[in-house]
Amino acid sequence: MWSQHKGEILALSGAVGFAFNGVVAKLVLTSGLSSLRLTQVRCGGAFLILGTYVFVRYRHRLRITKAELPWLIAYGLVGFLAVQVLYFIAITRMHVSIGLIMEFTAPIWIVLWLRYVIKRYVPALMWVAIALAFSGLLLIAQVWKGQTLDPIGVIAALICAIALAIYFLLGEKLTGTRDVQSLSVIGFGVASLGLLIAMPIWSYPTQIFTQSIDLQGRFAQYSLPGWVLILWIILLGTIAPYLLVVNGIKLLSASTSSVMGMAEPVLAGVFAWIWLFEEWSLIQLVGGVTVIIGIICADRARTAAYKI
């Protein structure tokens, strides 16, 4: 029982870190740094700092077998690279919390994968969950008013949800045979290598580190140098939350962890409301709650499917 509660605390703590990081990341993104470049410095910084620690203390854990290699590459490219880039694209074009709610439809995609790919039985509750979640998304988008949300942001958030589902499933598989620290280092390393090949480090816009970044919203009269915000993103918005969440997955499950992570969009909405004055209409609030209820139902459906 304690291990379950410990896993829940870890998952929720990770959600707090990721939620607040969304606000900090938006400040940097709206100051001129692209989503890909922010992901590059985020993953690269996390890889260097966490990788150095693991290499010095537990270098034997970084050994990789041929059987693991394709799974680890997929884990890094999808769970660390794709999820981050797509999320950053989404939050630059929409409210942080709306982007996160769309991203966290991941448990529904997990259920659909169970039903239609590996052909598991899925209870009728799944269809209720899907109906609730997508009805809620329609309310958030307020489709009767025409185009109220940025279409690129919506597409990025929904693809991000699929990538996040893959991240949870691969994390559940890989933590069965590998420790959290080495798994995170390898994930960051794969993502960093992919971005390094696509975008050479020597062309990085280094002026962002010395640029004075407006803190916007409630703190608009203040500013900080870019390196301070980027260091926060690397340490407290990346390394710490990732380790907390992966440890949570190890003690719980991909499904339960993904639902615990639903605290993230709620917390992000609170942080963005307090700091950036991002507001929702009443209809959008109803839609957000409806999506969350749908995701919880999807998790229960998935749990039932695994038991059969």
Mean pLDDT to the nearest integer, 5-15: 80
Q: Tokens 């929720």: give the residue.
A: 12
| Residue 145: alpha-carbon gap to chain centroid | 29
The pLDDT confidence band at residue 178, using thresholds 50, 70 and 90, is: confident
Q: How large is the greatest C-alpha to C-alpha distance in the chain, in angstroms?
A: 58
**How much is the pLDDT for 280?**
78
209 pLDDT above the threshold of 90 = yes
205: which DSSP letter?
A: -
**Are the C-beta atoms of residues 156 and 90 closer than 8 Å to each other?**
yes
244 pLDDT above the threshold of 90 = no
Reading the block at residue 200, the tokens are 């050479």
Q: What's the mean pLDDT when you consider all of the chain?
A: 84
Which residues make Cβ contacts (< 8 Å) with residue 117, sequence separation at least 6?
Answer: none
Q: Tokens 């609030």: give the residue.
A: 285
Q: How far separated are the first and last CA of the chain, in Å rounded? A: 23
Question: Residue 65: which domain range?
Answer: 2-307
Pick from 231, 248, 252: nearest CA to 184? 248
For the chain, what's the residue count? 308
**How much is the pLDDT for 243?**
79
Q: Which residue has the higher pLDDT, 133 or 305?
A: 133
Burial string for 61-83 (b: 16+ CB within 10 Å, else e) reads beeeeeebeeebbebbbbbbbbb
Backbone angles phi, psi at 149, to 5 degrees: -115, 150
Mean pLDDT to the nearest integer, 286-307: 73
258 pLDDT above the threshold of 80 = no
User: What pLDDT, in 10s, does the model give residues 118-171?
Assistant: 777 767 777 787 788 778 877 876 756 655 678 899 899 999 999 988 988 888
Q: Which residue has the higher pLDDT, 94 or 191?
A: 191
Number of domains in the chain: 1
Mean pLDDT to the nearest integer, 218-237: 95
**How much is the pLDDT for 159?**
94
User: What pLDDT, in 10s, does the model give residues 183-199?
Assistant: 889 999 999 999 999 99
Mean pLDDT to the nearest integer, 38-60: 92
Q: Please give the model's pTM, rounded to 2 decimal places.
A: 0.82
